[in-house]
Amino acid sequence: MEKINHIRLSEDDNALIILDQTQLPNREEYLELKTPEEMYRAIKRLEVRGAPAIGIFAGLAMYVLARGFSHLPYPDFRAKFNETADYLNSSRPTAVNLSWALRRVKRVVDDSSALSPADILPLLKNEAQAILEEDVAMCRAISEHGLSLLKDGDGVLTHCNAGPIATSRYGTGLGPLILGAERGMYLRAYSDETRPLLQGARLTSWELMRAGVDVTLICDNMASAVMKEGLVQFCFVGCDRVAANGDTANKIGTSGVAILAKHYGIPFYVLGPSSTIDLSAKTGEDIKIELRDPDEIRSLWYAEPMAPEGVKCYNPAFDVTDHSLITGIITEKGIVTPPYTHNLAAIFE
Ligand code: MRU
């Protein structure tokens, strides 16, 4: 599959260039982002989205922004750096990769008090690029582990988008399908359209078609029928934050898919890099769920509103799938099975 350079530095390092995911699949447009406000907005509006991609974006964004105030003396530089990182971190609360990546670049600044800010810049660039390169390797390993479960002809149901544009390359939930296609395997994907922002319809089906995977788009409320008809043998989804006990926050609707999968006896796997595991969250109760604009339900995508004016809406962007519904959590280190509290902690030892 042709590789998309969806998050990259400009030639002069003064801007971040991203593929605008809100325009897909109709337009492949790139945005040039220079200010903290533009970068905050890009995360908030889902111009860049997907937990690992947001982390990669944040690391590179902080390098670009730090160039703009590297003339300051170290204490002021550090204060401005932390303030800007905290501002970006406030854009979306659920995916842990954002705060994880920002913590990594903050640490570079904290550990460099003996250097001038101008000399810290190359270190920040290295750290941001390391976050990106590590994600490439992690996605590749996750894809291999996931693919080891599949055989030719299998059907996999997925929810939201956990593909290359949500990460660095290959993706997590979609990685095994894309890697399998590269190796000439025949795999069938069923993509939930994923209301209200349609990541499954707009992004997953677009990415899988480009990768040569046989993909069928379904409405979210068709997942049960697809399972009952025996069309899928596995569910593979990504994750935004995995708590210490295995409870997993992912796109709204994921927990419903897991409940259906349990009913039909279909294995349900969560795929994500270890950077998405947050051992400081003991259970899903500790994960903050983002609430979004009701107009995403009422009127976005429609030529005219499809709900009465002023109707109340509840629009959580994510839900938490209980660990008891998860067959396994696939990270770059392998396939973790229950008991999660013990086995997730073990991968960090
Ligand atoms: O709101 P989004 O589109 O950022 O939500 C994305 C998801 O829920 C993905 O499944 C998750 O971030 C994993 S991406 C590899």
Label each residue of 17-63 as H, E or C.
EEECHHHCCCCCCEEEECCHHHHHHHHHCCCCCCHHHHHHHHHHHHH
Q: What is the largest CA-CA distance in the chain?
A: 65
pLDDT at 4: 82
pLDDT at 11: 97
Q: From atom 10 of ligand 1, which residue's Cα is the shortest distance away?
A: 238
Report the first-to-last Cα separation within the chain, whole angstroms: 35
Instruction: Answer yes or no: is the C-beta of 33 below 6 A from any ligand 1 atom.
Output: no
Taking Cα atoms as reference points, which of 335, 342, 334, 340 lies closest to residue 322?
340
Does the model's pTM come out above 0.75? yes
Instruction: Answer yes or no: is the C-beta of 199 below 6 A from any ligand 1 atom.
Output: yes
pLDDT at 37: 98
Report the separation in Å between the CA atom of 68 and the middle of ligand 1, taken as the mean of its atom positions.
30
What parts of the chain have a pLDDT lower than 50? none
Contacts of 147 by beta carbon, 8 Å cutoff, 6+ apart: 175, 176, 179, 180, 183, 185
Strand 16-19 relative to strand 30-33, pairing? antiparallel
pLDDT in tens, 293-347: 999 999 999 999 999 999 999 999 999 999 999 999 999 999 999 999 999 999 9
Write down the residue that tokens 């941001």 correspond to: 128
Instruction: Answer yes or no: is the C-beta of 92 below 6 A from any ligand 1 atom.
Output: no
pLDDT at 197: 98
pLDDT at 262: 98
Q: Is 256 helix (H, G, I), strand (E, B) or coil?
A: helix
pLDDT at 249: 98
pLDDT at 240: 98
Q: Is 219 left (phi over 0), alpha (psi -120 to 50) or beta?
A: beta
Mark whether 240 is an active-site residue. Answer: yes
Catalytic residue among 240, 247, 278, 319: 240
Instruction: Answer yes or no: is the C-beta of 145 below 6 A from any ligand 1 atom.
Output: no
pLDDT at 68: 98
| Number of C-beta neighbours around residue 151 at 10 A | 11
Instruction: Answer yes or no: is the C-beta of 158 below 6 A from any ligand 1 atom.
Output: no
Q: Is 153 left (phi over 0), alpha (psi -120 to 50) or beta?
A: left
Is the preceding peptide bond at 339 cis, omega within 30 degrees of 0?
yes
Q: Which amino acid is at 344?
A: L
Report the separation in Å between the CA atom of 95 and the middle of ligand 1, taken as the mean of its atom positions.
8
